Structure formats: structure tokens, C-alpha cells
């Protein structure tokens, strides 16, 4: 065996061990943060029967969208062309949450309509065999950061309450967090997506699966395999709850 191969195996082992340590750390931190959250208002039984009854979910989402239509809570309100609230079935069993609109999304006011969006659509339609209209798709930020720069903490904290409300109204069976920003924001963790993906976490009592962002898949096609594994876990969970 050459030195080079021994080194590669060592590196692999080190990566695996690091991943395992991060996974355990993530599990502990995640459980801690879940028990520490107190601000979530659980929908009351009467809310569920009225406000969040399927026929009223669309109306409730429309109200949130109208409330933020002219939002100027952060600087992105000055540079956006269109606010990208979200799209899909208000009664969806699965909600995909991405990072922030890009140029195409900003132009059209719709989430995931560019190249990464096409790949997400393929995952949903060709992989999961469901219609894009049957899921709900939105982002952590509703406005495009100029030049697609990373979302800033201030922007996330201003925008997050609207997302929370959206998710509370839809109350899906599963949330799929696409990429680092979505996963870290929703799970309140600093762990990397590599340590978070591949298992369910909990977000306000809803199962959440983090996976790689479709834009990352465009640059790293080999990551399609782990994403497919994550998606299969989601499909299995949804079929169990059917």
C-alpha cells in the first residue's frame, strides 16, 4: 500500500469521526434549543378549527403577505424589485425553505424559478413524483440580497417572524431546509450542513430535514446522492403519516 493511500484512508476516518462528533453535538444542541424556545405560540384548538382550517389557510397566508408587501424593515426593501413571499399549496405536507431570492426570483416575484429552481422542481416532480403546486416553497429572506451576497444576521432577524407565521399557518408534516442558511436559521445552530443533513430535527414540533441547497448541487453533482437519501427519508415519513 502506498503512503498516499494510507493518508487518504486516515483522512476518511478522521472525516467520519468528525462527522459523528458533530452529529452528536448537533443532536444535543438541537434538543437544548428546542426546550429553550418559549416564544412559539402553539395554535390553539380553536385556531386550528377556524383560522388554520384548510379553507382559511390561503386567506391567512394572504394576510401575512399583505402585511409585508411594502416591508422596509431592512435595507433589502430599498433594492428589491419584487418581494418573494412564497408559492404553493397552503395545505402542503411538505415545505421547502431556501435561502433568499436570486435575480430570476426577484424579477418574477416567485421562489426557485432560476437554474437552482429547475433542479428543485426536478427533485420534486421527477424524484418525489409529486406536482410542484402540491408543495409549498419559500425562503428565509423574502428579498434579494444585492449580488446574491449572503444574508446578514440583521436581515434574517427582521424577516424570520414572517416565515415563522407562514410555517405556523401551513403546519406541514415536514420542512426541508435547503442549504446552510435555512438549516442554521431554523435550527438555531452553527453546525455545518454536512453535520446536520441525513436525519430529522425538530422545528416547533415539526420534523425538519436539512439537505444541500440545489445551487450547491449544480456546482457539486456528487452531492445529489446524499440529497436523494434525504429526500427518500422525507417521502417515507410522509407516507407513514398518510
Residue placing its CB nearer to ligand URA in the complex, 83 or 100: 100
Binding to ligand URA (CB under 6 A) within 190-219 occurs at 215
Binding to ligand URA (CB under 6 A) within 133-162 occurs at 139
The SS3 of residue 201 is: strand
The answer to whether 86 contacts ligand URA (rule: CB under 6 A) is: no
The answer to whether 95 contacts ligand URA (rule: CB under 6 A) is: no
Residues paired with residue 174 on neighbouring β-strands, in sequence order: 94, 207
Residue placing its CB nearer to ligand URA in the complex, 52 or 181: 181
Residue placing its CB nearer to ligand URA in the complex, 172 or 179: 179
Classify residue 47 as exposed, middle or buried by CB count within 10 Å of its CB (0-12, 13-18, 19+): middle
The answer to whether 210 touches 185, Cβ cutoff 8 Å, is: no
Using the rule CB under 6 A, which residue among 61, 76, 95, 100 binds ligand URA?
A: 100
Give the integer Cα–Cα distance in Å for 13 and 147: 38
The answer to whether 106 contacts ligand URA (rule: CB under 6 A) is: no
Q: Identify the residue whose cell numbers are 420534486.
A: 124
Question: Closest distance between ligand URA and the C-beta of residue 102, in Å?
Answer: 4
The answer to whether 111 contacts ligand URA (rule: CB under 6 A) is: yes
Q: In whole angstroms, how large is the CA radius of gyration of the chain?
A: 19
C-alpha cell at 125: 416532480
Q: What is the DSSP string of 206-223?
A: EEEEEE--HHHHHH-GGG
Strand (E) or helix (H) holding 98: strand 94-98
Q: Identify the CA nearest to 178 among candidates 141, 143, 145, 204.
A: 141
C-alpha cell at 219: 456546482
The answer to whether 90 contacts ligand URA (rule: CB under 6 A) is: no
How many residues make contact with ligand URA (CB under 6 A)? 13
Residue span binding ligand URA (CB under 6 A) among the ranges 3-11, 40-48, 112-120, 219-227:
112-120
The answer to whether 172 contacts ligand URA (rule: CB under 6 A) is: no
Question: Closest distance between ligand URA and the C-beta of residue 210, in Å?
Answer: 13
Q: Contact positions toward ligand URA, by CB under 6 A?
A: 98-102, 105, 111-112, 114, 116-117, 139, 215
Amino acid at each position: 500500500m502506498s503512503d498516499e493511500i494510507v493518508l487518504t484512508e486516515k483522512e476518511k476516518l478522521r472525516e467520519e469521526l468528525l462527522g459523528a462528533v458533530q452529529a452528536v453535538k448537533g443532536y444535543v444542541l438541537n434538543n437544548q434549543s428546542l426546550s429553550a424556545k418559549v416564544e412559539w405560540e402553539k395554535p390553539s384548538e380553536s385556531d386550528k378549527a377556524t383560522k388554520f382550517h384548510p379553507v382559511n389557510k390561503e386567506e391567512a397566508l394572504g394576510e401575512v403577505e399583505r402585511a409585508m408587501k411594502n416591508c422596509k424593515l431592512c435595507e433589502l426593501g430599498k433594492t428589491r424589485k419584487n418581494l418573494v413571499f412564497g408559492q404553493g399549496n397552503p395545505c402542503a405536507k411538505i415545505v421547502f425553505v431556501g435561502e433568499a431570492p436570486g435575480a430570476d426570483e426577484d424579477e418574477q416575484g416567485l421562489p426557485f424559478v432560476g437554474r437552482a429552481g429547475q433542479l428543485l422542481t426536478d427533485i420534486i416532480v421527477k424524484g418525489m413524483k409529486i406536482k410542484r403546486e402540491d408543495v409549498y416553497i419559500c425562503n428565509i429572506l423574502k428579498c434579494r440580497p444585492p449580488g446574491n451576497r449572503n444574508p446578514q444576521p440583521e436581515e434574517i432577524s427582521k424577516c424570520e417572524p414572517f416565515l415563522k407565521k407562514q410555517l405556523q399557518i401551513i403546519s406541514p408534516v415536514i420542512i426541508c431546509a435547503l442549504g446552510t442558511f435555512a438549516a442554521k436559521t431554523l435550527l438555531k445552530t452553527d453546525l455545518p450542513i454536512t453535520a446536520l443533513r441525513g436525519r430529522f430535527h425538530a422545528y416547533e414540533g415539526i420534523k425538519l430535514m436539512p439537505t444541500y441547497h440545489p445551487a450547491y448541487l449544480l456546482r457539486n453533482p456528487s452531492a445529489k446522492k446524499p440529497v436523494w437519501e434525504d429526500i427518500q427519508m422525507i417521502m417515507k415519513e410522509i407516507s407513514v403519516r398518510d
